[in-house]
A = this chain, B = another copy of it.
Amino acid sequence: MQKQWRLAARPDSIPDASHFDLVEVPLPQLEPGKAIVKTLYLGVAPVMLRYMRNETDFESPLALGSVMAGRGVAQVIESDCSSLPMGAIVQARLGWQEYALIDSSDRPAPFLLPTDLPLSHGIGAVSLSGITALVGVRDIGLIKDTDRMLVSGAAGGVGSHVAEIAKALGAQSVVGIAGGPEKCSRLKTEMNYDEVIDYKNEDVNSRLDVAFPDGIDLYFDNVGGPLLDNVLGRLRRRARIVICGSISEYLVEKEAKHRFANLQNLGRQDAKMEGFFVFDYEDTYADCIDTLADWVRQGVLNPVEHISHGIETMPDALADLYLGNNVGVRMVKVAEPALLS
């Protein structure tokens, strides 16, 4: 038997254990062309609230009673699929369960992870969080070495990688915004941010005035809302805004959503604002992982991970994202790899 979290209710606000049922079910049976994997780590991401509400069209609809969607790191323990060989460590669409039946036709397809790095990095730095940060900074943000760059949600799963990646690509200095003294301290000591703004305890406006006297060239946005509007009012010519997430808005009722006063500045400054989702960049994953893994090996990228233990902790791990409790990549360690004969 194995444990599995199923969606029990669609959340109106922060999701918690009451929105899920933990059930015990038999292990899946192998099917032709597929593989059985053992879940080792599961990741969580802000977008999961949208899965739970069926608000996206890039993830399959999630009926009440189905296994909660999500990806993680797993070990192939039975296989009838040549691209998923026995023993391989893969990043795949597993669902919140201890064992999964997967196949190579999933989109994004399961991908192999570097074997010389900690398995946990397969949730973050050399996986979708790291790829999101890299694609966002390089391909959407088109970073230049003269850019004055700002990152919100800087201590989050993606944001925790952004300053190191931006500097690896040539940035001179990067300013991060996060909430609370512990996160802000770790942004400097562990994540290579040069300046940090604590939005819970400091006057963001006056800090931005000082940090960006001539305006902002590149904004990597994880929060949306009023801070995005503030930045729109500070754009330099040909600035770029990378919309990676809008966590401040996910939990706000439609009527209460922020109305943006400074959007016109985008046209005035011939600037760009672009949303993107890493699932649309699957053809870049292999190259991105090579780049990210090399940076980890060289000590350029130093992943910060926030790990709880046991599949029972999944709802709390997810809630932490909306509560702002996580520092670095939030994940759950589900099991050790099996010893395969």
Which residues between 259 and 291 of chain A lie within 8 Å of chain B, taking CB atoms? 259-261, 263-264, 266-277, 280
Q: Are A274 and B274 in contact (CB under 8 A)?
A: yes
Q: Are A268 and B259 in contact (CB under 8 A)?
A: no
Q: Are A257 and B261 in contact (CB under 8 A)?
A: yes
Cα distance, A243 to B264, chains bound together (Å): 9
A337 at the interface (CB under 8 A from B): no
Q: Which of B57, B221, B245, B259 contacts A261 (CB 8 A)?
A: B259
- Smallest beta-carbon distance A131→chain B, Å: 15
A144 at the interface (CB under 8 A from B): no
Q: Are B243 and A266 in contact (CB under 8 A)?
A: yes
Cα distance, A277 to B271, chains bound together (Å): 10
- Smallest beta-carbon distance A128→chain B, Å: 15
A237 at the interface (CB under 8 A from B): yes
Residue of B nearest to A237 (CB): B57
Given A57-B237, A237-B58: A271 touches B260 (CB 8 Å cut-off): no
A238 at the interface (CB under 8 A from B): yes
Q: Are B273 and A274 in contact (CB under 8 A)?
A: yes
- Smallest beta-carbon distance A293→chain B, Å: 26
Q: Are B271 and A272 in contact (CB under 8 A)?
A: no
- Smallest beta-carbon distance A210→chain B, Å: 22
Enumerate chain B residues within 8 angstroms of A243, measured Cβ to Cβ. Answer: 266-267
A21 at the interface (CB under 8 A from B): no
Q: Which of B238, B270, B272 contacts A272 (CB 8 A)?
A: B272
Cα distance, A270 to B263, chains bound together (Å): 17
Q: Are A224 and B267 in contact (CB under 8 A)?
A: yes
Residue of B nearest to A245 (CB): B267
- Smallest beta-carbon distance A283→chain B, Å: 15
Q: Are A275 and B280 in contact (CB under 8 A)?
A: no
Enumerate chain B residues within 8 angstroms of A249, measured Cβ to Cβ. Answer: 264
- Smallest beta-carbon distance A89→chain B, Å: 29
Q: Which of B221, B258, B266, B274 contacts A275 (CB 8 A)?
A: B266
A302 at the interface (CB under 8 A from B): no
Cα distance, A267 to B243, chains bound together (Å): 6
A246 at the interface (CB under 8 A from B): yes
Cα distance, A224 to B265, chains bound together (Å): 11
Enumerate chain B residues within 8 angstroms of A269, measured Cβ to Cβ. Answer: 275
Given A267-B243, A267-B246, A275-B268: A280 touches B224 (CB 8 Å cut-off): no
Enumerate chain B residues within 8 angstroms of A246, measured Cβ to Cβ. Answer: 264, 267-268
Q: Are A266 and B273 in contact (CB under 8 A)?
A: yes
Which residues between 215 and 249 of chain A lie within 8 Å of chain B, taking CB atoms? 221, 224, 228, 237-238, 243, 245-246, 249
* A residues apposed to B, CB below 8 Å: 55, 57-58, 221, 224, 228, 237-238, 243, 245-246, 249, 257-261, 263-264, 266-277, 280
Given A57-B237, A245-B267, A246-B267, 8 additional A-B pairs, CB 8 A: A55-B268, A243-B267, A246-B264, A257-B261, A257-B264, A267-B275, A270-B280, A274-B274
Ranked nearest first, the 3 interchain pairs of A and B with the lowest CB-CB distance are A259-B259, A243-B267, A267-B275
Between A and B, 9 residue pairs with Cβ closer than 8 Å are A57-B237, A243-B267, A246-B264, A259-B259, A266-B273, A268-B275, A270-B277, A272-B274, A274-B274
